[in-house]
Amino acid sequence: MLSNKKIANILLPAILIFLLGQTGCSQTPTASEILKRALSAMGNATSYQLDSNVIWTYTTIGGTAPGKSSIIWIGNTLADTANKALHKSMNIESTDLSGDKTHWTVENYLAADYAYVKANSDLGRSNTFNVWYKSKSSDEGWTGVNQIAELIGLMKTSNNSTLNGSEKTAGIDCYILDIQPSISAIADWVGTQFQGYGGIDYSTAPFLGGRDNYLKDFKSGSFKIWIAKDGYLVIKAVVNPHFEATPQDLGVTAQTMEYSGFDKVTSDFQGELNFTKYNQPVSIQPPPDSIVTSR
């Protein structure tokens, strides 16, 4: 009969091997591994729903007429990436330097190589409001509205990613990653946020905008993504780039521009993107031609 000591000598190595194996299985993947898996999962997504909230604040600092204006874009998008189709509704609020606000509602469809848009505003009555317009679309048009593609661009070009813990968001266990995308990808993301409605007041300083300015005037930003532990799809992204420029950066001199002096202008974006309903059946039904005005 085996003694207790001999039994312990037999069982202890087996227990240690089992525990070590369990520890290995539960190890948290590295930030780069999580990012790689998320890129694969996002690249294979066939559909998604997106709720977005993006605030753009434009500030003139110094000079005789400092001020701040802003635009808020609140949107809901249902996208069929497999067929390059989507339906998006958007509420927009713009605030000018005096604090006056203007509201817009915009609805878009993209389907079967055509784009459809209808807009309304509290600016007043217009025969261009609340009317469906239809125009031929292109691959570039799809790229400009497919937020997954732009998010993949931010993730793919990140030269540094850090795992910043984990938490539940929308009831889903997620890894939290801080990433640092390329300035080029940041400029592309900013460009896709503009909806063509709601104006910024540039009367006190020149426009700090456009891809070239964004490339050279990016100063800082935070970029954070929440990635599902099960499946590695992005559930949430927060994108906050900051741009600023002096008169010299924008090529302004007292002789070439009529603006009443300023020290600098800043352009800030605060974007939150919440993704749900990945890879679900989607039906995108644009308005019938009977109610559409063709361009």
pLDDT interval class at 7 (50, 70, 90): very low
pTM over 0.75: yes
Task: Give the span between the Cα atoms of 271 and 239, in whole angstroms.
Answer: 5
pLDDT interval class at 36 (50, 70, 90): very high
pLDDT tens track for 43-86: 999 999 999 999 999 998 887 778 899 999 999 999 999 999 99
What single DSSP character describes residue 285?
-
Task: Give the span between the Cα atoms of 5 and 127, in whole angstroms.
Answer: 93
Secondary structure of residue 18 in the 3-state scheme: helix
Select the more confidently predicted residue: 20 or 46: 46
pLDDT tens track for 137-176: 887 778 778 899 999 999 999 989 999 999 999 999 999 9
Given this model, what pLDDT does residue 255 score?
Answer: 59
At a CB cut-off of 8 Å and minimum separation 6, what does 68 contact? Answer: 57, 58, 59, 60, 97
Given this model, what pLDDT does residue 224 score?
Answer: 97
Strands 234-245 and 101-111: unpaired
pLDDT interval class at 16 (50, 70, 90): very low
Q: Which of 143, 164, 165, 141 is nearest to 152 (CA)?
A: 143
| CATH code, 31-284 | 2.50.20.20
Strands 132-136 and 292-294: parallel
pLDDT tens track for 104-128: 999 999 998 899 999 988 876 556 6
Backbone angles phi, psi at 229, to 5 degrees: -65, -30
- Give the H or E element holding residue 196: none
3-state percent helix, strand, coil for the chain, nearest multiple of 5:
25, 40, 35
Beta strands in the chain (DSSP E): 47-61, 67-80, 85-95, 101-111, 114-121, 132-136, 161-169, 172-179, 218-228, 234-245, 264-276, 292-294
Task: Give the span between the Cα atoms of 132 and 117, in whole angstroms.
Answer: 6
Task: Give the span between the Cα atoms of 173 and 237, in whole angstroms.
Answer: 15
Secondary structure of residue 236 in the 3-state scheme: strand
What single DSSP character describes residue 154?
H
Given this model, what pLDDT does residue 260 score?
Answer: 54
Map tokens 């009977």 to a residue: 290
Distances in Å between the Cα of 103 and the Cα atoms of 20, 68, 72, 295 are 60, 18, 10, 25
Contact of 117 with 136, CB cutoff 8 Å: no
